[in-house]
Amino acid sequence: MKTLEKDLALRRRYRAERFMMGLVALGTLLAFLILFLVLAYALAQGVGALNLDFFLKDMRPPGESGGGLRQAIVGTLIVDGLGLLIALPFGLAAGVLLAEYPDHPVNPYLRLLSDTLNGMPAILFGLLAFVLIVKPMGGFSGLSGAFALGFLMIPILARSTEGVLSLVPKEIREAGLALGLPRWRVILSLVLPTARAGLITGVLLAFARAAGEAAPLLFTAFGSPLLELNPLKPMDTLPLRLFAFAISPYEDWHRQAWAAGLVLFGLITLTSLLARWASRRF
Amino acid sequence: MKRLYTHFGDRIFATLLLLLALGVAALALLMAYELYRGGSLALQRFGLLGFALGREWDPVVQKTFGAWPYILGTLIVSFSALLLSFFPALAAAIFAAEYAPRWLAQVINFLLDLMAAVPSVVYGLWGIFVLAPWIRDKVQLPFYMWAAEQAPWLVPILGVPTGYGLMTAVLILASMIIPYTAALARDAIALVPKEHREAAYALGATRWEVMRLAILPLARGGIIAGTFLALARAVGETMAVTMVIGNSHKLPYTLFGGAATMPSVIANEFTEAVEDLHLSALIAVGFLLFLVSMAVNFTAAYVLRRQERLVKGVL
């Protein structure tokens, strides 16, 4: 009798175990369902609209078929690249200060404010760049878009730099200091080169994150139908153009929106893969 | 010369670092200040509370601006998305941490990274052309027809079945924030000391019992922090929501009908705002968004810090 009861209890527990395992597996599948669908559609719809013209020609007015999105691709690289240049000194310096001068009196406040920035919605960086740059300059420009993306990248860079530098063994610093090197030489010539791979990875990931953003660019870079190389004029980027095409009523533009989505996704994946490769290679 | 190299070199380097880092700090303060200043015209006209609780947003005729429809929309959309995404995200984290073999866990981690890397506009694109029409034809219309015949009292709650509205926005947003909850939950589970699960296994617990009795109670703080982080993402998510939510600020909101959120109204109306008061009202909405995001982020940081102390205390 006693063993039978035990048997039943055990069986009930096993049944619960199997049930929960099924539930967990089901939940996991559910979690990735929309990701799979989005990727499948982007591939299926985007590949058909992709051709060489897409990369080599500017967009056409509605009604005319053909054309490409050269102006958006070039614009993405310029605005995002400029943004990275703006963000790099600030992000790196904040990261170095947090990691290499752990007792510095400003650090608690710096960390708090940097984390605050990190959690802010991307669109607020666009508003900030609008108030600070677009308004005084009197018009939309690629440069103001670069500032918006730069603001967005600063806290990301600060955090990744701090994380990477804290992984550098302290013996390396001690060895440098024991040789009589001043602290700034230790940081510049020993710590940063040791952390090179991680730093490059962080920079590339920040670049990839900013490349997909449209919200901060809506009222800064604004968009442009023609190739524009002057950053003082409005410039186009892929996410901006994708948004404009997606809400337009034209069939042809919808196809190009899918292609833009695929190219954008490819650009971001490529950058992320490069980051992963860099972290092993250097 | 030697003195210049060591003493002054260090001084100069540290000062330079400090100046640049203060730039980062200044940026955060500047954001708060500039958003407040930019929105001050509207905030002074209606008062902070009057603006936040005003139900009327009419830039054309009455020129009154109240942000309540957008605040309410943001709250409804983000909390529903959080609720919807919580269990799948937790399941993915548990599966990756405890059930899956190593290679499968790596695949799941890769997929979570990928999910966070897909641009918001791409989700929105899919939402516009695939999800919204599908939901309209396969879910909303049949249900609406059924309700119209069998339960007419449901109709005002359901609203017009256009496909572009609350329901679609919530679904898209839910899947977009899964990686944030899942990644933190996974880390929190991995942080639980090995001895805990070994002790539970040694007592004869099944895998689920180990999870429920030994791991989840300790990982709870990290999981909660992850949901707050996901909530912060959901509150600020702009493009995908703007593209599918239908952009209507007519209260009361309905399940199928259009709605709007704080980021979506900024994205929608900003470039078309010609009058100073309208522009200022939009920036004031940005200021409110700033406050909400800050509150959510600080809560997440607080919970996470307490969690770290808890796990350390157990060790």
User: Residue B237's closest chain A neighbor by CA?
Assistant: A121
pLDDT of residue B157: 82
Q: Give the minimum alpha-carbon distance from A89 to chain B in angstroms, rounded to a whole number.
A: 7
Cβ distance of B31 and A96 shorter than 8 Å: no
From A109, A154, A261, residue closest to B27, measured CB to CB = A154
The number of angstroms, rounded, from the C-alpha of B179 to the middle of its chain's C-alpha atoms is 11
Q: Which pLDDT does position A53 carry in this prediction?
A: 85
Which of A1-5, A119-123, A212-216, A221-225 shows the lowest mean pLDDT across its residues? Answer: A1-5
What is the predicted pLDDT for the residue at A2?
62
Name which of A12, A34, A272 to mutate to probe chain B: the one with the most chain B Cβ atoms within 10 A of its Cβ.
A34
Contact A106 B91 (CB under 8 A): no
Side-chain-side CA neighbours of B256 within 13 Å: the count stands at: 24
Report the topology of domain B41-314.
Answer: MetI-like fold (1.10.3720)
pLDDT of residue B314: 62
**pLDDT tens digits, residue range A186-221?**
999 999 999 998 999 999 999 999 999 999 999 999
Which residue numbers in chain B have pLDDT < 50?
none
Tokens read off for A77: 């690289």
B90, B94, B111 ranked by CB distance to A32: nearest: B111
| List of residues 6+ apart from A1 with CB closer than 8 A | none
Instruction: Evaluate if residue A279 carries a pLDDT over 80.
Output: no
Residue B271 to residue A114, Cβ atoms within 8 A: no
**What's the pLDDT score for residue B315?**
56
Q: Which residues of A touch B290 (CB under 8 A)?
A: 120, 124
Q: Which of B122, B235, B266 sits opposite A261 (nearest CB)?
A: B122
Share of chain A above pLDDT 70, in %: 98
Distance from CA of A239 to the nearest CA of B (A): 6
Average of pLDDT values for A19-45? 92
Nearest CA in chain B to A89: B20
Distance CA B120, CA B123 (A): 5
| Residues B221-275: tens digit of each pLDDT | 889 888 998 999 999 999 999 999 988 888 888 888 889 999 999 999 998 888 8
Mutation choice for B interface testing from A15, A106, A123 by most B CBs within 10 A: A123
Confidence of residue A89 (pLDDT cuts 50, 70, 90): very high
Query: What span, in angstroms and rounded, lies between the C-alpha atoms of B100 and A103?
Result: 42
| Contacts of B137 by beta carbon, 8 Å cutoff, 6+ apart | B163
How many other CB atoms are there within 10 angstroms of residue A157's CB atom? 28
Say which of B5, B20, B28 has its CB closest to residue A182.
B5
CB B76 within 8 A of CB B165: no
Interface size A-B, in CB pairs within 8 Å, comes to 262
Q: What is the CATH number of domain A70-281?
A: 1.10.3720.10
Write the single-letter amino acid at B76.
I
For position B283, what pLDDT does the model report?
Answer: 95
Nearest to B44, CA basis, from B277, B245, B228: B277
Give the span between the Cα atoms of A75 and A69, in whole angstroms.
10
Cis peptide before A62 (omega within 30 of 0): no
ipTM reported for the complex surpasses 0.95: no
Look at residue A60 and tell me whether its pLDDT is greater than 60. yes
Identify the helix (H) or strand (E) that includes residue B309: helix B276-314
- Cα B147 to Cα B161: distance, rounded to the nearest angstrom: 12
Q: Residue A282: pLDDT band by 50, 70, 90 thresholds?
A: low
- Look at residue A118 and tell me whether its pLDDT is greater than 60: yes
Bridge partners for B259 per DSSP: B246
Q: Report the chain A residue with the minimal C-alpha distance to residue B172.
A: A34
